[in-house]
Amino acid sequence: MSSKNRDESDVRIATAPHQHDFPYDREEEAQVTRREFCNFLGLTSAALFIGSAGFAGKAAIDARSTQAFTPAKIEGAEALAPGTSLNFRYPTEKDSAILVRSLDGSYHAFGQKCTHLSCPVYFERAHQRLECPCHEGAFDARTGDVLYGPPPRPLDRLELELRENGEVWATGRVPGSNERSI
């Protein structure tokens, strides 16, 4: 008799008084019963429903809330050469943004999150446009409008202010949306 079988036999002897109350074999304990699988599917369904409701609720609350923006200087913007870009953070340290200086010298700034699935966009110098590397979407570097690809709406636009000595300040953030009302 192998040691495994002997162990099992010992367990059977030790648990014999309880076999009437819990009549399960050890092998069967590892199997998933139909009832357990049903319960798992039920819990999955509940989780998916809560996830949908939670995500929709958060999006709706975020859209309704009005945020006050504090003007902030964009460091290094005055030295930015035409046709190049600069990454910075605004309005909070968590919000990455991109400042683009067009070939004509004008400044444009956008939130860096792609409006498709939130990948960070980058400035593609050769074509003078903002591109998303995840799903090949592209945005106009002057307006933030979608040029092609899966993004459903324009990039969030940052309001800029030119101050003395060529300083560039970010003063606000406007969601790039095709649908404003909620």
Q: What angle do CA 166, 168, 169 make, to 5 degrees?
A: 140
Under the binding rule (CB under 8 A), the answer on residue 46 touching other proteins is yes
Under the binding rule (CB under 8 A), the answer on residue 179 touching other proteins is yes
Number of residues that bind other proteins (CB under 8 A): 32
Three-state secondary structure call for residue 123: strand
Under the binding rule (CB under 8 A), the answer on residue 9 touching other proteins is no
Query: Among 3-11, 103-111, 121-129, 171-179, which window interacts with other proteins (CB under 8 A)?
Result: 171-179
Query: Among 35-43, 66-74, 135-143, 163-171, which window interacts with other proteins (CB under 8 A)?
Result: 35-43
**Radius of gyration (C-alpha) of the chain in whole angstroms:** 29
Query: Among 33-41, 81-89, 133-141, 164-172, which window interacts with other proteins (CB under 8 A)?
Result: 33-41
Task: Judge contact between 129 and 78, C-beta under 8 A.
Answer: no
Classify 105 in phi/psi space as left (phi over 0), alpha (psi -120 to 50) or beta. Answer: left
Q: Which of 41, 103, 162, 174 binds other proteins (CB under 8 A)?
A: 41
Smaller CB separation from other proteins, 101 or 116: 116
Under the binding rule (CB under 8 A), the answer on residue 61 touching other proteins is no
Under the binding rule (CB under 8 A), the answer on residue 174 touching other proteins is no
Task: Judge contact between 145 and 135, C-beta under 8 A.
Answer: no
Under the binding rule (CB under 8 A), the answer on residue 116 touching other proteins is yes
Q: Which long-range contacts (CB under 8 A, 24 or more apart) does 118-123 make?
A: 120/96, 121/155, 122/85, 122/98, 123/84, 123/85, 123/98
Q: What CA–CA distances, in Å, run from 141 to 7, 94, 106, 121?
A: 72, 22, 11, 11
* Binding residues vs other proteins (CB under 8 A): 34, 37-39, 41-42, 44-46, 48-49, 51-53, 55-56, 58-60, 63, 115-118, 152-153, 175, 177-179, 181-182
